[in-house]
Structure 1
Amino acid sequence: MGGVTMRTRRVRARLRGWGGVGAMAAVCALALALVLMLPWARSGGAAVPGRGGGKVAAASQAADAACKDPEKQTLSPSSADGPTIAAIKARQGEKRKLIVGVDQNSYRWGYRDPNNTGAALEGFDIDLVHRIAQDILGDPDAVQFKAIPTNQRVPAVQEGRVDMVVRTMTISCSRLDDVAFSAPYFKTGQQVLAPKSSKITGYDATLAKSKVCSAAGSTANTRLADDEKAGRLGAGVDIATTVPNQLDCLVRLQLGEVDAVVTDGALAASQAAQDPTVELKGAPFTTEYYGVAMKKDADDLVRRVNQILVQYRANGWQASYDTWLSATLGSDATTSRPPAPQYLRTS
């Protein structure tokens, strides 16, 4: 534990002078990560159980073979109520809220700004949640937010702990076996995050002999596992380090325990904004789309969210982008806008 304390002090020293949200967010993330790291320290630094391995890669590849254009596998829009929406509206009193799984540690996406009174959740994903609540319940604040880690997004939906997840969640073929998705609301791609001083230049041979961190249950983790199994990773790349949340990877990077992070470029850009010593390395090497995840049989809710997204893309999406993401992704939102939706799922 003494070694961890000393590393904490060194990282805090690096953070001095940041000011504002970046410093406080990183320090909070560090505290969380250190708690999570205790069992690793006791077990000699073993990886988190559940890291994508051969079975995960095989399942992903099998799903991908039977699935094309996952972002199009959704239902056509409708404003009609159905049994799922009726059940939400039937909640009484303080319980008459939309229950939504979100992140509270992703800067600019879903996070608590300690500089704001009350430190309410805010960000690009949170704006969308408020719009959905306004449409379904007539009140943008009729929301019960549930903070869930990356690797719990699918179970939270399947087990009914939430009505939906709005948490930078990529629509993928393998996930379509477990949950239903809305049409896309954001476009991104996997990228590498590493120290500015690093020799790493992207998702290429410069990763050789590096330790790479990813979040368990993420598309980045699946891609790394697939590429490792297929022999596409550089020599000696170690992908054993996985964490429950993407932001935990940034802390591991700050502690010098890994050499790089692989995650969505949109998230990596926000993490780089929190730590001026790291940067995105290379261009995105995948194309991915974020969607709202719901239960597979919640057809009326999926259709309703798709109807809301039609309106939101026309009036609301750009304003939210300008507020939260233009500072990290640039004022031109062209590359982040999702394509015109297609609704290929019929039942």
Structure 2
Amino acid sequence: MLVVAAVALLAAACGATPEAAPFQLPAENRLPAGATVLTSAPSQRADPACNPTASLRPQGAQPQPGAMPAGSTMAAIVASGKIRVGVNQNEFLFGYRNPATGEIEGFDIDLAREVARDLFGDPNRVELKPIETSNRVQALTKGQVDMVVQSFSATCARRKDIQFSSVYFETDQRVLVTKGSGIHSAADLGGKKVCGIPNSTTLEAVFALPQRPIVIGIENWLDCLTALQQGEVDAASTDLPLLYGLEIQDPNLEVVGDAMASDSYAIGIQQQATDFVRFVNGVLERVRSDGTWQRLYNQRLSVLGPSNGPPAPKYSD
């Protein structure tokens, strides 16, 4: 006891202030398995100098469905009979499993089917492979899927390992809370528990807040929703359409605050498949120009309000 007292007196004499112990999850909590306290941003955006939203220009006229150039990535996919697509099954509006049918549906799923339409002449030639958000890059680098269509933000850090199509959707980031929580904007999150997905771009804006929240990493948004409903976290923060998808499922929730950051969704493709990047960009050109993009928006995303139309593509060559 004398030693402890002496150390305390010495610290006081030197003006030292003991650092607060890092927040740890209590032994008894109702968070899903694997939930963890995150202590640093994942740095997914990295240096934007690479122009992350610029992609490869489509190369001339698109080949006819089922008649892909010999030796191309597209020919190999057609020969396999289906295109393997990494998707989400927990993001209402973009990619979710419809409880009435058991089928995965959403805006991202519809876009994946448009790629299959131009490859095979049949939009149903897709093998939808649900993957966790944090494993999207890994699924491509390990060859587990041919492309990822999963509200996937194009960033320079990710471009070190994979390629991206041109952007097909743009949005910004907000905060989701329980009504009456007293949280009205991101400025009110200091010291609050906020859930997010590990390795996602939207965590960086949360960690950048002047008053640091306690960031809880949870693997998917349905589990984040449950944690918010049970009061295990105070808020969730990610892209606006994903938050609206959660809000629709629970009228006791509300989206609050101004934009914290912006994101641009693109299709992730294996690094070596340059020909397939150009092909997919040709598909997206058709989808923009023939009204398909707007039709899919009206069908899946009208809850977000009137659209400004599809984003204009940016090409690097």
- The alignment's TM-score, normalised by the length of structure 2, stands at 0.83
Deviations 1:164-206 (A, max 9, x none): 00011111222111210000111111111111112111222x1
Instruction: Quote the residue 1:219 is aligned against.
Output: 201
Instruction: Quote the residue 2:314 is aligned against.
Output: 342
- Give distance in 2, aligned partners of 1:338 and 1:219: 22
- Give distance in 1, aligned partners of 2:155 and 2:135: 16
Among 105, 128, 143, the residue aligned to 1:122: 105
- Give distance in 2, aligned partners of 1:250 and 1:194: 10
- In the alignment, does 2:311 pair up with 1:333? no
- Give distance in 2, aligned partners of 1:185 and 1:65: 19
Among 153, 163, 188, the residue aligned to 1:180: 163
Among 189, 192, 201, the residue aligned to 2:172: 189
> For the structure 1 residues 52 and 320, does the alpha-carbon distance in structure 2 shift closer, same or farther, using more than 3 Å as the test?
farther
Q: Which runs of 4+ in 1 moved over 6 A?
A: none
Among 198, 201, 210, the residue aligned to 2:192: 210
Q: Secondary structure at the match of 1:189?
A: strand
Deviations 1:216-259 (A, max 9, x none): 1111123334x1xxxx431x5211x1011123211111111111
Instruction: Quote the residue 2:6 is aligned against.
Output: none
- In the alignment, does 2:70 pair up with 1:87? no
Q: Secondary structure at the match of 1:115?
A: coil
Q: Please state which structure has a larger fraction of its residues in helix.
A: 1
Gaps of 5+ in 2: 1-27, 64-68
> For the structure 1 residues 182 and 65, does the alpha-carbon distance in structure 2 shift closer, same or farther, using more than 3 Å as the test?
closer
Among 112, 124, 132, the residue aligned to 2:97: 112
Q: Is the 8 A contact 2:140 2:162 kept in 1?
A: yes
The structure having more radius of gyration, on CA atoms, is: 2
1:281-292 residue pairs with structure 2 within 5 A?
281-292=256-267
Amino acid at match of 1:87: A
Residue identity over aligned pairs, in percent, reads: 40
TM-superposed deviation, 1:52: 6.6
1:128-207 residue pairs with structure 2 within 5 A?
128-204=111-187, 206-207=188-189
Among 101, 109, 122, the residue aligned to 2:86: 101
Instruction: Quote the residue 2:19 is aligned against.
Output: none
Instruction: Quote the residue 2:56 is aligned against.
Output: 75
Among 20, 26, 40, the residue aligned to 1:53: 40
Q: Secondary structure at the match of 1:311?
A: helix
- Give distance in 1, aligned partners of 2:284 and 2:48: 29
Q: Is the 8 A contact 1:196 1:279 kept in 2?
A: yes
User: What value does the CA root-mean-square deviation take over the aligned residues?
Assistant: 2.0
Q: Is the 8 A contact 1:52 1:216 kept in 2?
A: no
TM-superposed deviation, 1:338: 4.1
Aligned residues: 281
